[in-house]
Amino acid sequence: MKEKLHPQVRQVVFKDISCDFAFLTTSTLSSAETIKWEDGKEYPLIKVEISSESHPFFTGKQRVLDTEGRIDRFKKKYGKK
C-alpha cells in the first residue's frame, strides 16, 4: 500500500454554533482551533451552522418559509414570456 495516500483520521469536536451543541466524533477534517472536551483532552474544533440538534426535521419545529413569493419570483425571472 502506498504511504501518505489516505488522509489522517482523528478525533474532532463538531460544534453547532446556532444552539451551542457539540459532539465528539472521528473525521479527516482538521482545524487550527481546539477545544477542551469533557474527558479533559484537547481536540480540533469544527464549527457548523446546523446539526441534528437545530435542524427542523429532527427537532419537529418547522419554520414558515415564503414559498409562494419564491415561486413567483422564479416564474417572473425564468418563466415563459
Tens digits of residue pLDDT in 22-46: 999 999 998 999 999 999 999 999 9
Average pLDDT over residues 43-59: 80
Contacts of 50 by beta carbon, 8 Å cutoff, 6+ apart: 16, 18
C-alpha cell at 2: 502506498
What percent of the chain is modeled with pLDDT above 90? 40
pTM attached to this predicted model: 0.65
What's residue 57's pLDDT?
66
Contact status, residue 54 vs residue 19, Cβ threshold 8 Å: yes
pLDDT top residue among 58 and 27: 27
If one counts every other C-beta atom within 10 angstroms of the C-beta of residue 24, the result is: 14
Closest CA to 59 of 16, 26, 13: 16
CA 51 to chain CA centroid, nearest Å: 5
